[in-house]
Structure 1
């Protein structure tokens, strides 16, 4: 089994990057035969800007640009997609949102054509969300930010495409809590990453890799 771990943070020394690596370490600890790849969007220089070329893709007038095709291929090689990101203004960073805007395109993540039935294209995809925030849980609940993130990210993005969000964790108080606490949580997520993947997905991945 193979996981794609996408991390969106400009600083490779950040807790966000350490959490992504901890997830990967947990995957290998659970089963050395499993593999993972970390997609570091900032270091790799992914352009998150939705351009005229992306607009043409949405209207089915052109094929996706090469950088988008490369990201889609990465996802297609994975049995699980893990997004690790800091919470900016109660959502994900612009870099990660732009990655989704461009990569989860019409014709690949979903199929929309005027006058035809809408189709979800990512029903096979299993998603894990790991968000890092400085506020406490009470702040998220009291102001409704927690439900807002569920609505816009889990439902608005992944449910729309048919992908299944298997786990969603917010690691909060990141500037005051001992980092080891969150790193242990991330490692545990990695250890159980494929145990939470349903059997049909595991069998499909094994056949594909055979």
Structure 2
């Protein structure tokens, strides 16, 4: 089994990168393979341009950079997104990657003349978000529910992909990082066990 681990953080020495590395280590220890997509290091352009709009309208093929990302996803049995929470959501770089890569004709099929067809039914998704705040803040303001509605349901369910695990690593700027790194390795080790079972878990 093969995992595509997508990282959205500009600092290679960040906890986000450390968590992604531990997820990858766990995947490897479980006897599976992985590929890392470091969006900042690879200078992925998140801007949704007229060319992307033409793709959405089924008037043009995807640009080369988008096609390359779709090919990486086609090779993967599981997608792991590792990212810091910015303004109670994912960073703009990661959102732009989704905006452009999860395009009409690939992630889903839609036209005004026909019903929506979800095309990513075989993809299993694992979300690992690093949050600076504590659990009480997320509960008090309903931030976690809002994130799940937007990301888990609004993005991935729309395309037919199953979010198998959704982890929120809290107090990432104040807690000892060792606990988060250990949790990340455990996520990686169990990644395909969870995917094969098809169970949806949430430890946030």
Question: TM-score if structure 2 supplies the norm length?
Answer: 0.96
Q: Find the counterpart in structure 2 of residue 54 from structure 1.
A: 52
Q: Could you tell me how far apart the structure 2 residues matched to 1:46 and 1:140 are?
A: 30
Q: Could you tell me how far apart the structure 1 residues matched to 2:11 and 2:156 are?
A: 27
Q: Could you tell me how far apart the structure 1 residues matched to 2:159 and 2:30 are?
A: 29
Q: Could you tell me how far apart the structure 2 residues matched to 1:6 and 1:104 are?
A: 14
Q: Find the counterpart in structure 2 of residue 137 from structure 1.
A: 135
Secondary structure of residue in 1 paired with 2:193: coil
Q: Could you tell me how far apart the structure 1 residues matched to 2:24 and 2:66 are?
A: 24
Counting matched residue pairs gives 198
- Equivalent position to 1:91, from 80, 84, 89: 89
Q: Find the counterpart in structure 2 of residue 160 from structure 1.
A: 158
1:8 equivalenced with 2:25 (yes/no): no
Q: Could you tell me how far apart the structure 1 residues matched to 2:142 and 2:79 are?
A: 26
Q: Find the counterpart in structure 2 of residue 40 from structure 1.
A: 38
Q: Could you tell me how far apart the structure 1 residues matched to 2:113 and 2:42 are?
A: 39
Secondary structure of residue in 2 paired with 1:42: coil
**1:1-210, aligned counterparts within 5 Å?**
1-31=1-31, 34-198=32-196
TM-superposed deviation, 1:198: 2.2
Gaps of 5+ in 1: 201-210
Q: Find the counterpart in structure 2 of residue 204 from structure 1.
A: none
Secondary structure of residue in 2 paired with 1:92: coil
Question: TM-score if structure 1 supplies the norm length?
Answer: 0.93
TM-superposed deviation, 1:64: 0.4
What do you get for the CA RMSD once the two structures are aligned? 1.0
Gaps of 5+ in 2: 199-204
Q: Could you tell me how far apart the structure 2 residues matched to 1:57 and 1:29 are?
A: 39
After TM superposition, the runs of 4+ consecutive aligned structure 1 residues lying more than 2 A away are: none
Q: Could you tell me how far apart the structure 1 residues matched to 2:149 and 2:3 are?
A: 25
After superposition, what is the alpha-carbon deviation per residue over 1:117-157, rounded to whole angstroms, capped at 9, x for unaligned? 21000001000000001000110010000000000000000
Secondary structure of residue in 1 paired with 2:128: strand
